[in-house]
Structure 1
Amino acid sequence: MLHEMVIPWRSPFFHPMLPDMRILVTGAAGFIGSHTVLELLNAGYDVICLDNFANAVSDDKGEAISLNRVAELTGKAVNFKKCDMNDEKALEEVFKGAKIDAVIHLASLKSVGESVARPLDYYRNNIVGSLNLIGLCKKYAVRNFIFSSSATVYGSPEKLPITESCRVGFGITNPYGQTKFMLEQILTDVGKAAGENWNIILLRYFNPVGAHPSGRIGEDPNGVPNNLMPFVSQVAIGKLPELTIHGDKWETKDGTGVRDFIHVVDLAKGHVKALERALEENASIGTEVYNLGTGTGYSVKEMVAAMEKASGRTINKKVGPPRPGDVASAYCDPSLALEKLGWKSELGLEEMCRDLWKWQIDNPNGFNAA
């Protein structure tokens, strides 16, 4: 069953040089999805947005609050349909109803801890739902496919910085990461199939943070945040009492874990660049893989200090034991994305924390601020 919401045009706009392409985005109302839809609309694409609200918030009309705000920011209509990837019949109605040129597949259950407690839910949702989508792409001749993967596929990194040629699938400690790895394998095989002419791009995200600089869209975790920076910002605003730093004896510059944090706006623009490559005239690239990160590792202490500076507040913190499966450092070499996609991150740590804090202070209760 589909619930359709079309947000009215607020500022009609047309430019003949913009691409006349219709892009299906799954998981469109979530953190990365809403920012990606905004960048696609700004680039002139026609976008169909799907979400089942597993990681997003709806209003009392069943509309996606984040996408309402995207419409306000862009002045463009947002075509939204509530749809679950596991409902193959409902999903096929979307394909029947519109000529789709490409898919950006972001829909996924995404909590590492929850995936350990509920593995079957994660395998069913992430794998089966994706197989439904890929199968319908094949049936309706949609051969351009951008997939939201994750740096978790690298497991415990064999070297730093991490390149796309590093081994994957070893040392993955949770079902969430396994689903990303398995789907990469599936899509790689699909891309190799003879005579199919697929253009599949796997984007391995590192650690998305920040928010749109307007403060209108950002990350709105369900319950206690699983990721560092949303947790830090909620401590800063007083929603949570303190941050636990998981270990301060790692072999890093200050003893705390080091990760590659990337501004979500940069990440969203990476999807647009990947889409442009897939849609190049006469493209037949099979499957390609790109890291999306900054190439710079920041420690937990550095991230906390940067948020204290951005917020002007002291963040309560304590040191706890390391978590099972954690690694000391993980950061990427993003040079292949620059070479092949013409993409690189442009926003640094100061902008990440500035924009995250604006989102947090303007929306202390997320999208349910009212």
Structure 2
Amino acid sequence: MAQLLITGGAGFIGSHTCLVLLEAGHNLVLIENFSNSSPEALRRVLELAGPKAKSRIQIVEGDIRNSDDLDCAFSIASSPIEAVVHFAGLKAVAESFEDPLDYWDVNLGGSRSLLNAMRIHGCRTIVFSSSATIYGYPNEVPISENALVSPINPYGQTKAAVEQLLADVAASEPGWKIARLRYFNPVGAHPSGLLGEAPHGTPANLFPYVSQVAVGRRDKVEIFGGDWPTSDGSAVRDYIHVMDLAEGHSAALNVLQQEAPQVLTLNLGSGRGYSVLEVVKAFEKASQKKLPYIITSRRKGDVACSVADPDLALKRLGWSTRRGLEDMCKDSWTWQMANPDGYSVEIQSLI
């Protein structure tokens, strides 16, 4: 099993992926600044992974833009870092319009610093957390990896820029093994209810917002646009359970380790789209709660429909989603009921 560096490992997707990687036997070093996450998530990862996992994870509280923090992360383990799984970054579309400087600094600047540290420390394998937002307004749905990359918001532009940087680095010297994973809408939670999405402040994504309405933290769901060219007027998205997504990262890492140097670009999605109103109804069924909602104006940077063509991921990774909308809603509700205020507990010593 490999010695891995995980950036942003305490976040929503990162924490679930850390659990899957620990269960697969890997040793992890995490670099995390906890700007939109909690150390409690990592404590729970260790709880789920079992007592032997504690000796296989090390945590560096630091920032990927800081070369000293990165040097510490690459040097702290007893054996060299063999691969990086890169989650760290800012991820809210609306916020990226309000503060593009931060998005370019963190997402592109942080990735540049990370790649430079990888080169210095002799690591040439990376799995990058990209996004379907890079497709912008798709010409065809479902969207294949060959679709035009034309992002329509600063967040998507930063992701596309990092993808290009990765391609340029791979072309500049031999030996790089790179997976660029363009995933669609991660939702759900670990079925135990111990891990889930706990955004700081007002949620930018549908599922945590709906969950907070169901649990009574918010009055109503805001649906951005009721006049989209879809079956019910609300936007359609390809939702993917976070555990399926975590397993997709593990599968991509395995392929990179086994195959020759390459740049592997894959969609991670289900290939099935659900409208916002369909999600609200499904969550009402899972929670047994009536969810009031209002339809407001469209958000800047949104699209009507975004659904993956996942065939290449199945072909190259042997991976496909195994959990449907009912599982996503059920697991999200289990998490929200057990953690009505997210990870807001008093944190004891983590490691």
Would you say the 8 A contact 1:363–1:369 is kept in 2? no
Q: 1:90 aligns with which of 48, 52, 69?
A: 69
Aligned to 2:293: 317
TM-score normalised according to structure 2 size = 0.95
Structure 2 Cα separation of the partners of residues 356 and 145 of structure 1:
29
Counterpart CA distance in 2 for 1:324 and 1:51 is 30
How far did 1:325 drift?
2.9
Q: Residues 5 and 73 of structure 2 are in contact (CA less than 8 Å); yes or no, is this contact kept in structure 1?
A: no
Instruction: Give the SS at the match of 1:368.
Output: coil
> 2:167 is matched by which residue type in structure 1?
T
Q: Distance between the aligned counterparts of 1:231 and 1:89, measured in 2? A: 37
Gaps of 5+ in 2: 347-351
Deviant stretches of 4+, over 3 Å: none
Q: How many pairs were matched up?
A: 340
Of 26, 37, 41, the match for 1:66: 41
| Residue number among 123, 128, 151 corresponding to 1:147 in the alignment | 128
Instruction: Determine whether 1:211 maps to 2:192.
Output: no
Matches within 5 A, 1:296-335: 296-335=272-311
- Counterpart in the other structure of 1:340: 316
> 1:7 corresponds to which residue?
none
Shift of 1:243: 1.1
Q: Quick check: 1:248–1:256 contact (8 Å CA) kept in 2?
A: yes
TM-score (norm 1): 0.90
Matched residue, 2:28: 47
Residue range with higher mean Cα deviation, 38-47 or 74-83? 74-83
CA contact (8 A) 1:23 1:100 kept: yes
Whether 2:342 is the aligned partner of 1:366: answer yes
Alignment counterpart, residue 164 of structure 1, candidates 132, 145, 150: 145
Residue type matched to 1:176 in 2?
Answer: Y
Provide Cα deviations, 1:186-213, integer angstroms capped at 9, x if missing partner.
001112224x211100000100000000
Query: Which amino acid letter does the alignment assign opposite residue 165 of structure 2?
Result: I
Q: Is the 2:94–2:299 contact (alpha carbons within 8 Å) kept by the matching residues of 1? A: no
Aligned partner of residue 145 in structure 1, secondary structure: strand
5+ residue gaps, structure 1, are 1-18, 58-63
Instruction: Identify the match of residue 232 of structure 1 among 176, 189, 210.
Output: 210
- Determine if contact 2:31/2:73 at 8 Å carries over to the other structure: no
- Return the offset for 1:324: 2.7
Q: Which amino acid aligns with 2:126?
A: F
How many angstroms apart in 2 are the aligned matches of 1:36 and 1:315? 31
Query: Is residue 134 of structure 2 the alignment partner of residue 176 of structure 1?
Result: no
Q: Please tell me the residue identity of whatever aligns with 1:322.
A: R
Aligned residues of 1:29 and 1:50 also touching (Cα < 8 A): no
Q: Is the 8 A contact 1:192 1:287 kept in 2?
A: no
5 Å-filtered alignment, 1:115-130, equals: 115-130=96-111
| Identity value in percent | 47
1:369 to partner: Cα distance:
4.4
Counterpart of 1:263 in structure 2 is 241
Return the letter of the residue paired with 1:81.
Answer: V
How big is the alpha-carbon RMSD for the aligned residues of Structure 1 and Structure 2? 1.1
